[in-house]
């Protein structure tokens, strides 16, 4: 059995060499489809892993209050898009002052999505996220201080120009050995004194990670004021068993602060860290589905092209088939040889596509999201299985046609 399989593979490779150009074009099409599929699905898996890791750092005893998204209603009886007003600084601080449940409450705002930092002659890329926060932000957001100290309450209230930086910023400007504490850097045009460095946390999928600066919230309001700036409230409960009660009390209190009528729905959102991760993963599932459908469409085109090549191959090798049958080859042998040839072509394209798909997926993950190397074993196995399936489907009709050829007519062909 093994020798017969080896012989079929050898015949298939010889046939591929004899029609190299057409086979190469088919392999490229198959490789492109598999590459796109593996690259996109691998990247989505990497993003999911990063999201889960990022939100697990927040812990199961945290929840976040943020501005509610705009809703759009469609249909004959639909209404116009409903916009919810932002959470103001006064409302967020009122909640922090009045929320008496045993917990730690933090108020923060995004001061800049793309700040540029300067230290001496060194400059960072304009991709640093700057948060304005109070003294509780570090603990409530799942960060830890590697060296230095947290903000003091007077620094927060007065807007002292001091900053807590992430590990990547520290490594960019100060390397592994130089101590950044007490040094001054510029965020935009303003100078800040570094008082702490955060422990490494990873990229965090755009949620700060190691490319982050944290400044006092009053300083952010003064120097990074934006129209319609909204504020986020993070709550770290002392007892994870009382999360439901804590969220219930937070909802009631914030409805009072926001003056929401009893008959109206909340004009803000409260989400736990795990539920937010689940929501983001569900959004990514749509991309996953779309990438899979796109890959199958490309592979369908590849299957049609491969079947066409195999049919042409049967026609060109009619005399060869007649000679093989005259020497004793059975219909089953001929059929298996052509099926193997189709599968080998598909596997060659698939393996090339898988290799480049892994490379491209990881380059995107590293370059865009700063995530480490990832090997998608399940997509590799799935890609190989898919190639075998496509090769089998594409080769069935040509293989049956070759097997059914009359040996006498085949020998007289040409």
Q: What is the pLDDT of residues 101-154, one digit of tens each?
A: 999 999 999 999 889 999 989 998 888 999 999 999 988 887 889 999 999 999
Q: What's the token pair of residue 253?
A: 């209190």
φ, ψ dihedrals at 97, nearest 5°? -75, -35
- The four Cα atoms 22, 27, 30, 33 give a dihedral, to 10 degrees, of -110
Q: What's the token pair of residue 31?
A: 């490789």
| Confidence at residue 76, expressed as pLDDT on a 0 to 100 scale | 47
The model's pLDDT over 240-286, given as tens digits with 9 standing for 90+, comes to 778 889 999 999 999 999 998 888 888 888 887 655 555 666 666 77
Residue found under tokens 């101590």 = 179
d(CA 352, CA 158): 60
d(CA 152, CA 132): 14
| Confidence at residue 413, expressed as pLDDT on a 0 to 100 scale | 60
d(CA 276, CA 281): 9
| Confidence at residue 333, expressed as pLDDT on a 0 to 100 scale | 80
d(CA 382, CA 399): 25
Give, for 301, the enclosing helix (H) or strand (E): helix 273-316
Is pTM beyond 0.85 here?
no
Cα-to-chain-centroid distance, residue 82: 30
> Which parts of the chain have pLDDT scores under 70?
1-5, 7-8, 11-12, 18, 48-60, 69-83, 202-209, 273-284, 365, 367-373, 410, 412-414
């Amino acid at each position: 059995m093994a020798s017969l399989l080896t012989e079929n593979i050898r015949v298939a490779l010889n046939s591929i060499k004899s029609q190299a150009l057409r086979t190469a074009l088919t392999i490229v099409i198959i490789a492109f489809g598999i590459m796109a599929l593996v690259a996109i699905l691998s990247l989505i898996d990497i993003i999911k892993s990063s999201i889960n890791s990022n939100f697990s750092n927040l812990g199961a005893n945290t929840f976040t209050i943020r501005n509610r998204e705009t809703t759009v209603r469609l249909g004959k009886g639909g209404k116009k898009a409903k916009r919810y007003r932002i959470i103001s600084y006064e409302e967020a601080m009122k909640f922090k002052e009045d929320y008496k449940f045993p917990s730690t409450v933090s108020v923060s705002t995004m001061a800049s999505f793309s700040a540029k930092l300067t230290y001496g002659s060194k400059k960072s890329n304009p991709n640093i996220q700057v948060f304005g926060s109070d003294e509780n932000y570090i603990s409530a957001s799942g960060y830890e201080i590697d060296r230095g100290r947290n903000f003091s309450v007077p620094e927060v209230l007065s807007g002292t120009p001091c900053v807590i930086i992430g590990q990547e910023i520290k490594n960019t400007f100060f390397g592994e050995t130089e101590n950044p504490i007490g040094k001054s850097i510029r965020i935009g045009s303003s100078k800040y004194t570094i008082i702490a460095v955060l422990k490494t946390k990873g990229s965090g999928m755009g949620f700060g990670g190691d490319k982050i600066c944290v400044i006092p919230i009053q300083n952010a309001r003064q120097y990074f004021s934006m129209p319609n700036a909204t504020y986020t409230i993070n709550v770290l409960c002392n007892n994870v068993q009382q999360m439901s009660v804590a969220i219930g009390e937070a909802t009631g209190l914030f409805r009072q602060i926001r003056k929401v009528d009893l008959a109206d729905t909340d004009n803000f959102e409260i989400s736990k860290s795990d539920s937010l991760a689940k929501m983001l993963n569900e959004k990514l599932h749509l991309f996953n589905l779309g990438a899979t459908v796109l890959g199958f469409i490309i592979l369908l085109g590849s299957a049609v092209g491969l079947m066409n090549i195999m049919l042409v191959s049967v026609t060109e090798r009619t005399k060869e088939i007649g000679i093989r049958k005259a020497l004793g080859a059975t219909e089953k042998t001929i059929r298996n040889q052509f099926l193997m040839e189709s599968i080998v072509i598909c596997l060659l394209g698939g393996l090339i596509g898988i290799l480049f798909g892994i490379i491209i997926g990881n380059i995107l993950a590293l370059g865009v999201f700063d995530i480490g190397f990832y090997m998608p074993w399940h997509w590799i196995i799935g890609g190989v299985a898919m190639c075998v399936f496509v090769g089998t489907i594409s080769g069935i009709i040509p293989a049956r046609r070759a097997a059914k050829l009359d040996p006498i007519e085949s020998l007289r062909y040409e």
